Amino acid sequence: MKRRSFVIATASSVAAPLLRAQSLPAGPIRIVVGFAPGGGTDILARVMAQKLAPMWNTQVIVENRAGASGTIAADLTSKAAGDGTTLMMAHINSHAIAPALMKLNYDAERDFQPVMLVGVTPNLLICNEQQPAKTVKDLVELCKKNPGKVSFGSAGTGSAQHLALEMFKLQAGVSAIHVPYKGSGPMLTDLIGGQIQYSFDTMTAATPHVKSGKAHAIAQTREKRAKGHPNVPTMAESGFPGFEATTWYGISGPAKMPAAMAKRMNEDMNKVLQMPDVMEKFEQYGAEDGGGSPEKFAKFIQVEARKWAKVVKDANVKADA
């Protein structure tokens, strides 16, 4: 009797970690990023990958598939195997803006299994140090005096940066040049080098350059100031009440990925967001309000998709603009 109890107890103690391990992929995992290295999506993906690798006891690799405002990466992920070895850093561009702007080879809601919202950030209206207009008021005046000549870079046509620019043009009643890139990384290089003048870039990507003095932060685009940039005024404070254009990031897998695996991954990702060093980094980059369940992320995407579909329609934004 005693021996039988011992065997059952031993089997149970072995079975629990085995079941736990089976709910995670067996091999290396890649997180596909739809933008070039150095951008906000890439930065946050690498923070997550670095922390998840030892927790999952496997390689977690960030794979950059830049182009088409993140939709190339989304299309690749939607068609990947559902074994959990392919995830993506889902993004406002690929999952909320692009569906309203262009014909896609995937359905942003139907073809993905949401795992977790990683963070929501304001955009930063930035310029290089050579620009004369370093306040929102002065920038509006500059655009009005030089219609169609002041350049604004973005991470691509239909990107969050592009839509923030369109919102600004509508509310300020100005025209400007939109210059699309394959991500924030190359765009920031040109902005700092003086090839372009301004951008409503993601706070995540822009922050290191603002902190180093290579770029100047004029305003931020969320209703409240981000903790990482307490001295940078919001667009609302700068004469544009109600102006809110955020960028958000989350991890999703293909729709074929089991919900139980997504839930298991979600538990560890929530733990990552509670790590002090991760909290410090995310605060620096302005990434806030992440975490929660897969269901919460799914509902968040639906709300964002409706919001940006209205902006695309109202501003008459075209994919080739």
Q: Where are the domains of the chain?
A: 25-120+246-314, 122-220
User: Per-residue DSSP letters for 60-92?
Assistant: EEEEE---GGGHHHHHHHHTS-SSSSEEEEEEH
| Average pLDDT value for the chain | 91
Residue 151 has pLDDT above 70, yes or no: yes
Topology agreement, domain 25-120+246-314 and domain 122-220: yes
The stretch 215-228 carries a mean pLDDT of: 94
125 and 136 in contact (C-beta within 8 Å)? yes
pLDDT at residue 172, as a whole number: 96
Give 320's pLDDT tier (boundaries 50, 70, 90). Answer: low
DSSP-derived pairing of the beta strands 198-202 and 151-154: parallel
pLDDT in tens, 174-194: 999 999 998 899 999 999 999
180 and 154 in contact (C-beta within 8 Å)? yes
Among the CATH numbers 3.10.100.10, 3.30.1280.10, 3.40.190.10, 3.30.590.20, which is that of 122-220? Answer: 3.40.190.10
pLDDT at residue 209, as a whole number: 95
Q: How far apart are alpha carbons 313 and 98 in whole angstroms?
A: 12
Contacts of 229 (CB under 8 A, 6+ apart): 124, 203, 207, 210, 217, 220, 286
Decide if domain 25-120+246-314 falls under CATH 2.20.25.570.
no
Residue found under tokens 């209206």: 125
What percentage of the chain carries pLDDT values higher than 70?
A: 93
Q: How far apart are alpha carbons 256 and 242 in whole angstroms?
A: 39
Closest to 120 (Cα-Cα) out of 246, 235, 205: 246
Give 319's pLDDT tier (boundaries 50, 70, 90). Answer: confident
Angle, helix 203-211 to helix 184-193, in steps of 10 degrees: 30
- What is the pTM (predicted TM-score) of this model? 0.82
